[in-house]
Structure 1
Amino acid sequence: MTKLSQITRLFRRDEDGTALVEMAIVAPFVLLLSAGVFEFSNILNTRLLLEAGVEDAARYMARCSGDWDTCKGLAQNLAANGAVDGTSARVTGWLPAQVTITKTSTAAVDPDTGTQLYLSSKSTVDVVTVSTSYTYPDVGFWSYLGFGDLTLSVAHQERVFGW
Protein backbone atom coordinates (compact mmCIF):
# COMPACT_ATOMS: atom_id res chain seq x y z
CA MET A 1 0.00 0.00 0.00
CA THR A 2 1.29 3.39 -0.86
CA LYS A 3 1.57 6.19 1.60
CA LEU A 4 -1.04 8.24 -0.29
CA SER A 5 -3.67 5.51 -0.16
CA GLN A 6 -3.12 5.14 3.62
CA ILE A 7 -3.65 8.87 4.12
CA THR A 8 -6.75 8.79 1.91
CA ARG A 9 -8.22 5.85 3.86
CA LEU A 10 -7.58 7.61 7.18
CA PHE A 11 -9.11 10.80 5.84
CA ARG A 12 -12.30 8.96 4.76
CA ARG A 13 -12.78 7.37 8.18
CA ASP A 14 -12.10 10.55 10.12
CA GLU A 15 -15.31 12.49 10.85
CA ASP A 16 -13.71 15.53 12.47
CA GLY A 17 -14.72 18.67 10.62
CA THR A 18 -17.74 17.25 8.79
CA ALA A 19 -20.07 19.63 10.62
CA LEU A 20 -17.93 22.54 9.45
CA VAL A 21 -18.09 21.37 5.83
CA GLU A 22 -21.87 20.84 6.05
CA MET A 23 -22.31 24.29 7.57
CA ALA A 24 -20.18 25.87 4.84
CA ILE A 25 -22.44 24.26 2.23
CA VAL A 26 -25.79 25.07 3.91
CA ALA A 27 -25.11 28.56 5.36
CA PRO A 28 -25.41 30.55 2.10
CA PHE A 29 -28.79 28.97 1.35
CA VAL A 30 -30.09 29.65 4.87
CA LEU A 31 -28.94 33.27 4.66
CA LEU A 32 -30.56 33.68 1.24
CA LEU A 33 -33.81 32.19 2.51
CA SER A 34 -33.76 34.46 5.58
CA ALA A 35 -33.16 37.54 3.44
CA GLY A 36 -36.10 36.54 1.23
CA VAL A 37 -38.40 36.11 4.24
CA PHE A 38 -37.42 39.52 5.64
CA GLU A 39 -37.88 41.23 2.28
CA PHE A 40 -41.29 39.61 1.70
CA SER A 41 -42.48 40.51 5.20
CA ASN A 42 -41.40 44.12 4.64
CA ILE A 43 -43.33 44.22 1.33
CA LEU A 44 -46.40 42.79 3.05
CA ASN A 45 -46.14 45.29 5.92
CA THR A 46 -45.86 48.19 3.46
CA ARG A 47 -48.95 46.98 1.58
CA LEU A 48 -50.94 46.72 4.81
CA LEU A 49 -49.94 50.25 5.79
CA LEU A 50 -51.01 51.54 2.37
CA GLU A 51 -54.36 49.74 2.70
CA ALA A 52 -54.94 51.18 6.17
CA GLY A 53 -54.22 54.69 4.92
CA VAL A 54 -56.50 54.41 1.91
CA GLU A 55 -59.34 52.96 4.02
CA ASP A 56 -58.96 55.73 6.63
CA ALA A 57 -59.10 58.39 3.92
CA ALA A 58 -62.17 56.83 2.27
CA ARG A 59 -64.05 56.65 5.59
CA TYR A 60 -63.07 60.27 6.33
CA MET A 61 -64.31 61.45 2.93
CA ALA A 62 -67.56 59.48 3.30
CA ARG A 63 -68.39 61.33 6.50
CA CYS A 64 -66.91 64.76 5.82
CA SER A 65 -69.54 67.48 5.71
CA GLY A 66 -67.32 70.39 4.73
CA ASP A 67 -65.99 71.74 1.45
CA TRP A 68 -64.87 68.93 -0.94
CA ASP A 69 -61.41 70.42 -1.65
CA THR A 70 -60.70 71.05 2.04
CA CYS A 71 -61.82 67.54 2.99
CA LYS A 72 -59.80 66.06 0.12
CA GLY A 73 -56.55 67.65 1.31
CA LEU A 74 -57.17 66.53 4.87
CA ALA A 75 -58.01 62.99 3.73
CA GLN A 76 -54.82 62.81 1.63
CA ASN A 77 -52.82 63.80 4.73
CA LEU A 78 -54.72 61.21 6.76
CA ALA A 79 -53.92 58.48 4.25
CA ALA A 80 -50.21 59.19 3.89
CA ASN A 81 -49.42 60.42 7.39
CA GLY A 82 -51.97 58.83 9.69
CA ALA A 83 -53.32 62.22 10.81
CA VAL A 84 -55.04 65.13 9.11
CA ASP A 85 -52.32 67.52 10.32
CA GLY A 86 -49.65 65.46 8.53
CA THR A 87 -47.36 64.72 11.47
CA SER A 88 -45.40 61.59 10.46
CA ALA A 89 -45.39 59.37 7.40
CA ARG A 90 -47.00 55.92 7.50
CA VAL A 91 -44.67 54.70 4.75
CA THR A 92 -41.36 56.34 3.93
CA GLY A 93 -41.64 58.19 0.62
CA TRP A 94 -45.43 57.97 0.34
CA LEU A 95 -46.71 61.50 -0.13
CA PRO A 96 -50.26 62.88 0.19
CA ALA A 97 -50.12 63.95 -3.47
CA GLN A 98 -49.89 60.26 -4.47
CA VAL A 99 -53.36 59.61 -3.01
CA THR A 100 -56.16 59.96 -5.57
CA ILE A 101 -59.69 60.71 -4.36
CA THR A 102 -62.71 60.69 -6.67
CA LYS A 103 -66.45 60.87 -6.10
CA THR A 104 -68.92 59.25 -8.48
CA SER A 105 -72.67 58.88 -8.58
CA THR A 106 -73.74 55.27 -8.82
CA ALA A 107 -77.17 53.81 -9.45
CA ALA A 108 -78.76 52.37 -6.30
CA VAL A 109 -80.28 49.59 -8.40
CA ASP A 110 -78.42 47.75 -11.15
CA PRO A 111 -80.35 48.63 -14.34
CA ASP A 112 -79.50 45.32 -16.05
CA THR A 113 -80.40 42.84 -13.32
CA GLY A 114 -82.63 44.91 -11.02
CA THR A 115 -80.43 43.99 -8.06
CA GLN A 116 -80.42 46.60 -5.31
CA LEU A 117 -76.83 47.71 -4.80
CA TYR A 118 -77.40 50.35 -2.11
CA LEU A 119 -80.29 51.08 0.23
CA SER A 120 -81.35 54.57 -0.71
CA SER A 121 -84.45 56.71 -1.09
CA LYS A 122 -82.81 58.23 -4.20
CA SER A 123 -82.08 56.54 -7.50
CA THR A 124 -78.35 57.29 -7.19
CA VAL A 125 -75.83 57.34 -4.38
CA ASP A 126 -72.43 59.03 -4.16
CA VAL A 127 -69.43 56.73 -3.76
CA VAL A 128 -65.94 57.96 -2.92
CA THR A 129 -62.95 55.99 -4.22
CA VAL A 130 -59.49 56.47 -2.72
CA SER A 131 -56.54 54.84 -4.48
CA THR A 132 -52.78 55.02 -4.63
CA SER A 133 -49.75 53.45 -6.31
CA TYR A 134 -46.44 53.23 -4.50
CA THR A 135 -43.12 52.02 -5.90
CA TYR A 136 -41.53 49.79 -3.28
CA PRO A 137 -37.93 50.81 -2.55
CA ASP A 138 -36.32 47.39 -2.11
CA VAL A 139 -33.10 46.82 -0.19
CA GLY A 140 -31.53 45.03 -3.14
CA PHE A 141 -32.67 41.45 -2.68
CA TRP A 142 -35.70 41.81 -4.96
CA SER A 143 -33.69 43.30 -7.81
CA TYR A 144 -30.84 40.84 -7.20
CA LEU A 145 -33.22 38.02 -8.13
CA GLY A 146 -33.90 39.76 -11.45
CA PHE A 147 -37.30 41.27 -10.72
CA GLY A 148 -38.11 44.80 -11.85
CA ASP A 149 -39.59 47.58 -9.76
CA LEU A 150 -42.44 46.47 -7.54
CA THR A 151 -45.45 48.79 -7.56
CA LEU A 152 -48.04 48.33 -4.82
CA SER A 153 -51.51 49.56 -5.79
CA VAL A 154 -54.45 49.72 -3.40
CA ALA A 155 -57.95 51.20 -3.56
CA HIS A 156 -61.00 51.44 -1.32
CA GLN A 157 -64.59 52.65 -1.84
CA GLU A 158 -67.09 54.02 0.67
CA ARG A 159 -70.62 55.28 0.25
CA VAL A 160 -70.84 59.01 0.92
CA PHE A 161 -73.37 60.06 3.54
CA GLY A 162 -71.77 63.16 5.04
CA TRP A 163 -72.73 65.90 2.57
Structure 2
Amino acid sequence: MFIALRQFLRRFHKDEQGAALVEVAIVTPFVLLLSAGVYEFSNIFNTRLLLEAGVEDAARYMARCSSDWNTCSGLATNLAVNGAVQGGSARVTGWTANQVEITKAQSLQAVDATGTELYLSSTGTVIVVQVKTSYPYPTLGLWSYLGFGDLTLSVLHQERVFGW
Protein backbone atom coordinates (compact mmCIF):
# COMPACT_ATOMS: atom_id res chain seq x y z
CA MET A 1 0.00 0.00 0.00
CA PHE A 2 2.81 2.48 0.87
CA ILE A 3 4.60 1.62 -2.35
CA ALA A 4 1.50 2.40 -4.39
CA LEU A 5 1.00 5.69 -2.54
CA ARG A 6 4.64 6.63 -3.05
CA GLN A 7 4.40 5.95 -6.78
CA PHE A 8 1.20 7.99 -6.96
CA LEU A 9 2.81 10.99 -5.22
CA ARG A 10 5.95 10.83 -7.42
CA ARG A 11 3.87 11.66 -10.45
CA PHE A 12 2.96 15.03 -8.86
CA HIS A 13 6.43 15.81 -7.50
CA LYS A 14 7.67 17.75 -10.54
CA ASP A 15 4.26 18.61 -12.01
CA GLU A 16 3.53 22.40 -11.81
CA GLN A 17 0.15 22.55 -13.56
CA GLY A 18 -1.85 23.31 -10.37
CA ALA A 19 0.65 25.67 -8.72
CA ALA A 20 -1.12 28.85 -9.81
CA LEU A 21 -4.44 27.56 -8.49
CA VAL A 22 -2.90 26.82 -5.09
CA GLU A 23 -1.26 30.27 -4.96
CA VAL A 24 -4.54 31.99 -5.80
CA ALA A 25 -6.36 29.93 -3.17
CA ILE A 26 -3.83 31.05 -0.55
CA VAL A 27 -3.76 34.76 -1.51
CA THR A 28 -7.48 35.36 -2.22
CA PRO A 29 -8.67 35.59 1.44
CA PHE A 30 -6.00 38.19 2.22
CA VAL A 31 -6.87 40.29 -0.84
CA LEU A 32 -10.57 40.17 0.06
CA LEU A 33 -9.82 41.17 3.65
CA LEU A 34 -7.68 44.07 2.47
CA SER A 35 -10.38 45.19 0.01
CA ALA A 36 -13.05 45.09 2.71
CA GLY A 37 -10.82 47.15 5.02
CA VAL A 38 -10.18 49.78 2.36
CA TYR A 39 -13.90 49.98 1.58
CA GLU A 40 -14.88 50.41 5.25
CA PHE A 41 -12.15 52.99 5.89
CA SER A 42 -13.26 55.03 2.87
CA ASN A 43 -16.84 54.88 4.16
CA ILE A 44 -15.73 56.21 7.56
CA PHE A 45 -13.66 58.93 5.89
CA ASN A 46 -16.60 59.97 3.68
CA THR A 47 -18.91 60.18 6.71
CA ARG A 48 -16.35 62.34 8.52
CA LEU A 49 -16.13 64.71 5.56
CA LEU A 50 -19.93 65.02 5.39
CA LEU A 51 -20.10 65.81 9.11
CA GLU A 52 -17.34 68.39 8.72
CA ALA A 53 -19.11 70.07 5.79
CA GLY A 54 -22.34 70.27 7.78
CA VAL A 55 -20.70 71.76 10.85
CA GLU A 56 -18.78 74.30 8.77
CA ASP A 57 -21.95 75.33 6.90
CA ALA A 58 -23.82 75.79 10.18
CA ALA A 59 -21.00 77.86 11.71
CA ARG A 60 -20.81 80.12 8.66
CA TYR A 61 -24.59 80.57 8.70
CA MET A 62 -24.58 81.44 12.41
CA ALA A 63 -21.72 83.90 11.96
CA ARG A 64 -23.70 85.89 9.41
CA CYS A 65 -27.28 85.44 10.64
CA SER A 66 -29.02 88.69 11.53
CA SER A 67 -32.08 87.26 13.32
CA ASP A 68 -32.37 86.27 16.99
CA TRP A 69 -30.22 83.46 18.43
CA ASN A 70 -32.94 80.81 18.75
CA THR A 71 -34.21 81.25 15.20
CA CYS A 72 -30.71 81.25 13.73
CA SER A 73 -29.56 78.22 15.73
CA GLY A 74 -32.60 76.19 14.69
CA LEU A 75 -32.04 77.01 11.03
CA ALA A 76 -28.28 76.40 11.30
CA THR A 77 -28.85 73.02 12.95
CA ASN A 78 -31.14 71.99 10.11
CA LEU A 79 -28.54 73.26 7.63
CA ALA A 80 -25.86 71.11 9.27
CA VAL A 81 -27.91 67.92 9.38
CA ASN A 82 -30.00 68.22 6.20
CA GLY A 83 -27.94 70.47 3.94
CA ALA A 84 -30.67 73.12 3.70
CA VAL A 85 -31.99 75.81 6.02
CA GLN A 86 -35.49 74.38 5.70
CA GLY A 87 -36.31 70.87 4.54
CA GLY A 88 -33.50 69.08 2.72
CA SER A 89 -32.39 65.48 2.96
CA ALA A 90 -30.09 63.93 5.53
CA ARG A 91 -26.36 64.31 4.86
CA VAL A 92 -25.53 61.30 7.03
CA THR A 93 -27.96 58.52 7.91
CA GLY A 94 -28.74 58.61 11.62
CA TRP A 95 -27.29 62.08 12.26
CA THR A 96 -29.92 64.12 14.09
CA ALA A 97 -30.30 67.74 15.14
CA ASN A 98 -29.93 66.69 18.80
CA GLN A 99 -26.30 65.77 18.11
CA VAL A 100 -25.38 69.30 16.96
CA GLU A 101 -24.36 71.82 19.61
CA ILE A 102 -24.09 75.53 18.83
CA THR A 103 -22.52 77.92 21.34
CA LYS A 104 -21.48 81.57 21.32
CA ALA A 105 -18.47 82.85 23.20
CA GLN A 106 -16.32 85.92 23.44
CA SER A 107 -12.71 85.44 22.57
CA LEU A 108 -10.98 87.65 25.10
CA GLN A 109 -7.82 87.67 23.05
CA ALA A 110 -7.39 88.22 19.38
CA VAL A 111 -3.94 86.62 19.75
CA ASP A 112 -3.27 83.09 21.04
CA ALA A 113 -0.52 81.97 23.45
CA THR A 114 2.05 81.59 20.66
CA GLY A 115 1.53 85.16 19.46
CA THR A 116 -0.41 84.18 16.36
CA GLU A 117 -3.15 86.67 15.53
CA LEU A 118 -6.44 84.76 15.43
CA TYR A 119 -8.80 87.57 14.46
CA LEU A 120 -8.22 91.05 13.07
CA SER A 121 -10.10 93.30 15.45
CA SER A 122 -9.98 96.86 16.67
CA THR A 123 -11.20 95.63 20.06
CA GLY A 124 -9.77 93.11 22.48
CA THR A 125 -12.80 90.85 22.36
CA VAL A 126 -14.27 89.04 19.39
CA ILE A 127 -17.55 87.11 19.39
CA VAL A 128 -17.08 83.57 18.10
CA VAL A 129 -19.68 80.93 17.30
CA GLN A 130 -18.71 77.29 17.77
CA VAL A 131 -20.57 74.34 16.23
CA LYS A 132 -19.67 70.81 17.24
CA THR A 133 -21.07 67.33 16.92
CA SER A 134 -20.35 63.76 17.95
CA TYR A 135 -21.65 60.97 15.74
CA PRO A 136 -21.44 57.31 16.78
CA TYR A 137 -20.48 55.42 13.63
CA PRO A 138 -23.16 52.71 13.32
CA THR A 139 -21.08 49.67 12.43
CA LEU A 140 -17.52 48.85 11.59
CA GLY A 141 -18.49 45.86 9.48
CA LEU A 142 -15.60 43.46 9.07
CA TRP A 143 -13.37 45.55 11.35
CA SER A 144 -15.57 44.74 14.36
CA TYR A 145 -14.69 41.06 13.91
CA LEU A 146 -11.03 42.01 14.15
CA GLY A 147 -11.54 43.48 17.62
CA PHE A 148 -11.98 47.18 16.86
CA GLY A 149 -14.38 48.85 19.30
CA ASP A 150 -17.07 51.46 18.75
CA LEU A 151 -16.11 54.54 16.76
CA THR A 152 -17.35 58.07 17.48
CA LEU A 153 -16.62 60.81 14.96
CA SER A 154 -16.29 64.27 16.54
CA VAL A 155 -16.14 67.51 14.56
CA LEU A 156 -15.77 71.11 15.74
CA HIS A 157 -15.67 74.38 13.81
CA GLN A 158 -15.45 78.04 14.91
CA GLU A 159 -16.32 81.19 13.01
CA ARG A 160 -16.04 84.85 13.92
CA VAL A 161 -19.49 86.47 14.15
CA PHE A 162 -20.26 89.22 11.62
CA GLY A 163 -24.03 89.42 12.12
CA TRP A 164 -26.30 90.35 15.05
**Offset at 1:44?**
0.3
Contact 2:81 2:92 in 1 (8 A): yes
Which range moves more in the overlay, 149-158 or 82-91?
82-91
Which range moves more in the overlay, 114-123 or 19-28?
114-123
- In the TM superposition, structure 1's runs of 4+ consecutive aligned residues that sit over 3 Å from their partners are 108-117
The sequence identity of aligned pairs, in percent, is 72
| Counterpart in the other structure of 2:60 | 59
Contact 1:108 1:122 in 2 (8 A): no
User: Which amino acid in 2 is paired with 1:22?
Assistant: E
Task: Name the TM-score, length of structure 2 as normaliser.
Answer: 0.91
CA distance in 2, matches of 1:24, 1:11: 18
| Counterpart in the other structure of 1:144 | 145
User: Which amino acid in 1 is paired with 2:30?
Assistant: F
| Counterpart in the other structure of 1:18 | 19
CA distance in 1, matches of 2:112, 2:17: 79
* Unaligned residue ranges in structure 2 (runs of 5+): none
Q: How does 1:5-44 map to 2 (within 5 A)?
A: 5-44=6-45
**Offset at 1:12?**
1.2
* Unaligned residue ranges in structure 1 (runs of 5+): none
2:24 match: secondary structure: helix
Aligned length: 163
Contact 1:108 1:120 in 2 (8 A): no
**Offset at 1:110?**
4.3
Which range moves more in the overlay, 4-13 or 130-139?
4-13
CA distance in 1, matches of 2:44, 2:116: 38
C-alpha distance 53-113 of structure 1, shift in aligned 2 (>3 A): closer
C-alpha distance 9-145 of structure 1, shift in aligned 2 (>3 A): same
CA deviations over 1:123-163 (Å, ceiling 9, x no partner): 21100000000001125212111111100000000000111
User: Which amino acid in 1 is paired with 2:11?
Assistant: L
CA distance in 2, matches of 1:46, 1:60: 21
1:92 match: secondary structure: coil
Q: How does 1:120-159 map to 2 (within 5 A)?
A: 120-159=121-160
1:131 match: secondary structure: strand
Q: How does 1:82-97 map to 2 (within 5 A)?
A: 82-97=83-98
**Offset at 1:111?**
8.9
Task: Name the TM-score, length of structure 1 as normaliser.
Answer: 0.92
CA RMSD of aligned residues (A): 2.0
Q: How does 1:70-85 map to 2 (within 5 A)?
A: 70-85=71-86
